[in-house]
Chains A and B, each alone.
Chain A
Amino acid sequence: DGGITQSPKYLFRKEGQNVTLSCEQNLNHDAMYWYRQDPGQGLRLIYYSQIVNDFQKGDIAEGYSVSREKKESFPLTVTSAQKNPTAFYLCATKQAVQTYEQYFGPGTRLTVT
């Protein structure tokens, strides 16, 4: 945090609906990431972007889509194709490609019923 905003903190949706999670940063960081965290598990990378208008699939990209039209923003859409979307979603940023430390936002807890 300290410059990474994720909203809302809790989100509820019905099955079959697409939902978009927002991630905004004012750190002027180049790279942005989306992770999914399930109970008792680590962080799994969904998508990442190192520069504007470019993004790459992570390990579990199926059922998700992203865009990076602005440096500050990296929204994640959870589509109806995602089989098990209920999870805690974390956005992270990194200052530059060659730096290492990632800064995490507060997260959005998505529940789909």
Chain B
Amino acid sequence: GQQVMQIPQYQHVQEGEDFTTYCNSSTTLSNIQWYKQRPGGHPVFLIQLVKSGEVKKQKRLTFQFGEAKKNSSLHITATQTTDVGTYFCAGLAGNKLTFGGGTRVLVKP
């Protein structure tokens, strides 16, 4: 079945530094979505990428969808303490949405 893997599982970042988290699918995707879950909270939709090679930005967050539509990345610049949480990608293939295991981001002030 479809599998979506995220790396790294944990990301310790110094405040002000940049980092990237990666998402890889075993199958070609129709689209990919990114969600953020704050500690103790529930996932909140961030963005959706549909086109091959698509790049979208939200302030300090840059999302990219791979050319083959099987991978995606989230890059955060100048990390802030408000970026703490777990970032999930979710890939849509057919009518099935599969979530990755998430990257848990911890920020050191």
- Residue numbers of A with Cβ under 8 A of B are 1, 35, 40-45, 59, 90, 97, 100-107
Contacts and interface: CB of A to CB of B under 8 A. Distances in A.
B45 A42 contact: no
A102 B1 CA distance: 22
B9 A40 contact: yes
Given A40-B9, A43-B90, A44-B99, 18 more contacts: A1-B42, A40-B104, A41-B101, A42-B4, A42-B99, A42-B102, A100-B31, A100-B33, A101-B33, A101-B45, A101-B48, A102-B33, A102-B43, A102-B97, A103-B45, A104-B42, A104-B44, A106-B42
Nearest to B48: A100
A44 B45 CA distance: 17
Contacts of B88: 42-43
A107 B44 CA distance: 12
B51 to A, nearest CB: 14
9 contacts: A1-B42, A40-B9, A40-B104, A42-B99, A42-B100, A102-B43, A102-B97, A103-B45, A106-B41
Interface in B11-47: 31, 33, 41-45
B33 A105 contact: no
Interface of B: 1, 4, 6, 9, 31, 33, 41-45, 48, 88, 90, 92, 95, 97, 99-102, 104
B100 to A, nearest CB: 6
Contact of A90 (B43, B48, B101): B43
Contacts of A40: 9, 101, 104
Given A100-B33, A100-B92, A101-B33, A42 B42 contact: no
B40 to A, nearest CB: 9
A43 to B, nearest CB: 4
A101 B41 CA distance: 18
